[in-house]
Amino acid sequence: MANLLSGVNAVLEKATIINKNHPLTGLTNSGKQTFIDNAVASWNEAVDQIYSKSNIMRPNQAEEDKITLVADKRVYSLPSDLVQLRWPLQEEIQGRFIIEYPGGYEELRNILVQPANYTGQPTSGAISPIDGDLYIDMIPTSSEAGDIYKFFYWKDTNLSRASDVFPFSDTVYRALVPVVTQLFKYNQNNITSSDVRKLNYGRAVRALKKQQEDTAYIKRQGNVPVTGPLGYDPYVG
């Protein structure tokens, strides 16, 4: 399987930064360090995107954590290496859940006209785009304090060493090389081609999910027995 060094060489070759007969032997080169750093960053961006678009967890990416409800506390810190929270949060003693609020953080804030009046058992939440903390719909009281909600999340698994192997097959790797080259050019010179990126991202996603080009799928969401205290049905729509 291809590693980060081979990926950087492939991108720099396509971008005509290096000659294929004289590939880099490492990720440190005083004359080309800016190009190398850009290529590494572009590869990491593409890898994150391909797994996000595919809704597939990348190898060694999952972690488990928890929050403990505190009386009169609505906002909770999340792990610093969190890339994507995998809803819902689950309380295992009483079988309760905190799902993602359907409208997102901004709508949740707007619907809480008088935030201090919404107290009790939380059932939904959203991640604040301001500080990355978890914002829940209801402020816990002493009755809910101490409830532990576990959750899975996808963590940051940055590729940084020349020997780091890409977490997918060489078929996916070859499909991503043109995408990463476009990202590289954009980051370097603000030049990109959306058509090339869409075409090759689609090709890479299908390879990652082992799908044919015309494969159709239906996204299903399982039902969780939760009553929304804000007067909405979180499973409609």
How many whole angstroms separate alpha carbon 199 and alpha carbon 196? 5
Give the other-Cβ count within 10 Å of 46's Cβ.
Answer: 25
Rounded-to-integer distance, Cα 28 and Cα 117, Å: 57
| Tens of pLDDT, residues 185-196 | 988 887 666 665
pLDDT of amino acid 156 = 75
pTM check: above 0.75 = no
Does the pLDDT value for residue 34 go beyond 70? yes
Mean pLDDT estimate for the chain: 84
